[in-house]
Amino acid sequence: MVIAIIAVLVALLLPAVQQAREAARRSQCRNNLKQLGLALHNYHESALAFPYGEGRPGGGGVRYSGFVGLLPYLDQTPRYEVIAGDGFSFVPWDGAYAPFTSDVPGLSCPSDTRTTEGGMGKTNYMFSRGDSPWDHNEWTGNGGRGFRGFFTGNSVVRAERDVTDGTSNSIAMSERVQAKASSILVADGGTATGCGGTMVQVNPSAALAFVNANGSFTGGVGRWGGTRWPDGAPAFTGCTTVLGPNKGTFTQGGWDGEDGIYEPSSVHAGGVHCLMVDGAVRFISNSIDTGNITAAPLLSGESPYGTWGALGSIRANDVIPPF
């Protein structure tokens, strides 16, 4: 009888303990983003600009993520000095380059299971590319089409006043689940590949056809999200605001540098954490308004993707309701 009573008590207490642990992990994830916000603004104070989303500190060259330039502001000055001393010449997928193969403290969400995919340092935190899947073409200079987010590859935001939609209404960073070696599910952080130009240039909702009712991808799967913290390709360290939180990630082709939709995701119930440009961290619900996801991305003007798209575009003159 005593053993039975103890078993019942354990069964009652275990969910409460698990909830308390997850609450602590969720709080730590939020704090990680808060620290990244401080690092971004300290970087800006020194450089008079925010980092590139895809390029060497100072611009151009290797497709480094913004984390490389932020290293001195994340208590990683020695690591940065090694990379700078080597002339920023090592590519971010070089598995033999020590500064890139180890994790940077504070770049992983404690709620997520750390992936072993790729052999490089990992991250859960992503730089916002805005409400457009045209990130690769934007980086290569084909018309600058994707310049709607806070981070891009061929230019930088110089000052907060450039964020005309308001710093409290514009996303700087969010989170994504790290892609696992068995990434066949949206929840595992995988990316459906080969979705084609229809998804990218005409109708983003077409990408959802690559996900089954059970949340598994029907197309090929890229295991990229968060598997290389130094890599600035959106497949690794970028996020978009098109389909909505936890709706999956999709690339036009089979290459990790392709155009694509890379929506924020998390293992926190109900939504994702987002770092706003003003440094605040907001929890955005999965049910946030996404407007008309059958509409083609725009070069200018208000986002067609509702409140979610408006939070990603920084200078589209969006009117953003409470969220």
Checking if the pLDDT of 142 tops 50, the result is no
Q: Tell me, what DSSP letter sits at residue 272?
A: E
Determine contact, residues 296/202, Cβ cutoff 8 Å.
Answer: yes
Q: Tell me what pLDDT residue 140 has.
A: 46
Q: How many percent of the chain have pLDDT more than 70?
A: 88
Secondary structure of residue 173 in the 3-state scheme: strand
Q: Which residue has the higher pLDDT, 129 or 18?
A: 129
Query: What is the average per-residue pLDDT within 7-26?
Result: 65
Query: What is the average per-residue pLDDT within 39-54?
Result: 93
Q: Tell me what pLDDT residue 92 has.
A: 95
- Spatial distance between the Cα atoms of 290 and 309, rounded to a whole number of angstroms: 7
Q: Which residue has the higher pLDDT, 194 or 127?
A: 127
Q: Any alpha helices (H) in 95-226, and if so which ranges?
A: 98-101, 135-139, 197
- By C-alpha distance, which of 76, 99, 96 is closest to 87? 99
Residue 15: other Cβ atoms inside 10 A: 9
Q: Tell me what pLDDT residue 318 has.
A: 83
Q: Tell me what pLDDT residue 5 has.
A: 61
Q: Tell me what pLDDT residue 154 has.
A: 66
Q: How many percent of the chain have pLDDT more than 90?
A: 64
This prediction's pTM: 0.91
250-300 per-position pLDDT tens digit: 998 888 988 899 999 999 999 999 999 999 999 999 999 999 999 988 888
- Spatial distance between the Cα atoms of 275 and 90, rounded to a whole number of angstroms: 29
Q: Tell me what pLDDT residue 7 has.
A: 58
Q: Tell me what pLDDT residue 29 has.
A: 97
- Spatial distance between the Cα atoms of 274 and 276, rounded to a whole number of angstroms: 6
- By C-alpha distance, which of 109, 38, 107, 100 is closest to 73? 38
Residue 194: other Cβ atoms inside 10 A: 15
Token duo for residue 69:
């330039």
62-88 per-position pLDDT tens digit: 889 999 999 999 999 999 999 999 999
